[in-house]
A and B are shown apart, each in its own frame.
Chain A
Amino acid sequence: AQSVTQLDSQVPVFEEAPVELRCNYSSSVSVYLFWYVQYPNQGLQLLLKYLSGSTLVESINGFEAEFNKSQTSFHLRKPSVHISDTAEYFCAVSIQGAQKLVFGQGTRLTINP
């Protein structure tokens, strides 16, 4: 079975500072990895995903994540955050043929002006 651990439940940062949200997973087979974002009072939206190929994946709003197989990690980074990035971020894992996403506990990102 797969599992996901998000090491920080809350991350406060100042505007324009860099941020890293950590995600580690456990699986005995090859995985697909996802980051979803949940803005206040909204559903989840896909931010980026790793299926295969290049281990560095990017989103359209400046986030990136790197798949590290040896460390079983998929940390999310942004070099300079904005107030509008305030949200809860969920890391999720799936495998080929699976019928569900397995989610981490979520990390609440708070941006202070």
Chain B
Amino acid sequence: EAQVTQNPRYLITVTGKKLTVTCSQNMNHEYMSWYRQDPGLGLRQIYYSMNVEVTDKGDVPEGYKVSRKEKRNFPLILESPSPNQTSLYFCASSLYGGGANEQFFGPGTRLTVL
């Protein structure tokens, strides 16, 4: 089944404790992206990747890191989480970037930072 998977689905952590949210797609997509969803704000892009070893900042990159060492994986790293990073996170992928392509979303990771 073609899909985007994320792990963990739910995570409660404390301020300053490094964490990684994994994202993997099995559709051989070139483009991957991370969004965060907050009430009343819709989804905002954190980082995106056009291809392996090519990443760039989205609209709200502060406090996050990413890497793209393999085509299928695009982990999101929070080096020192803070309470304002409490949110619902979505990974997405599409065949290519460029605006017109449908993005396929993972099931989401709900993160709480105490």
Residues of A within 8 A of B (CB): 4, 6, 9, 32, 34, 36, 41-46, 49, 51, 90, 94-101, 103-106
Q: Which residue of B is nearest A101, CB measured?
A: B103
Main secondary structure of the interface of A (DSSP, over half): loop
A36, B92: Cα distance in complex, Å = 13
Cβ of A103 and Cβ of B42 under 8 Å apart? Answer: yes
User: What are 13 of the A-B contact pairs (CB < 8 Å)?
Assistant: A32-B99, A34-B102, A42-B108, A43-B90, A44-B43, A51-B100, A94-B100, A98-B97, A99-B33, A99-B56, A100-B45, A104-B42, A105-B41
Which residue of B40, B59, B98, B107 is within 8 Å of A96 (Cβ)?
B98
Known A-B contacts A43-B90, A90-B43, A105-B42; the reply to A49 vs B99 at CB < 8 A is no
Question: In the complex, are the beta carbons of A99 and B102 less than 8 A apart?
Answer: no
* B74 sits at the interface (CB 8 A): no
Q: Which residues of chain B from 49 to 69 have a CB within 8 Å of any chain A CB?
A: 50, 56, 58-59
Chain B residues with CB under 8 Å of chain A are 4, 31, 33, 35, 40-45, 48, 50, 56, 58-59, 90, 92, 97-100, 102-103, 105-108
Main secondary structure of the interface of B (DSSP, over half): strand
6 tightest Cβ-Cβ pairs between the two chains A and B: A43-B105, A103-B42, A94-B99, A98-B99, A44-B105, A100-B45
- B102 near A49 with CB under 8 A, answer yes
Q: Are B98 and A98 in touch, CB under 8 angstroms?
A: yes
A76 and B36 CA atoms in complex are apart in Å by: 24
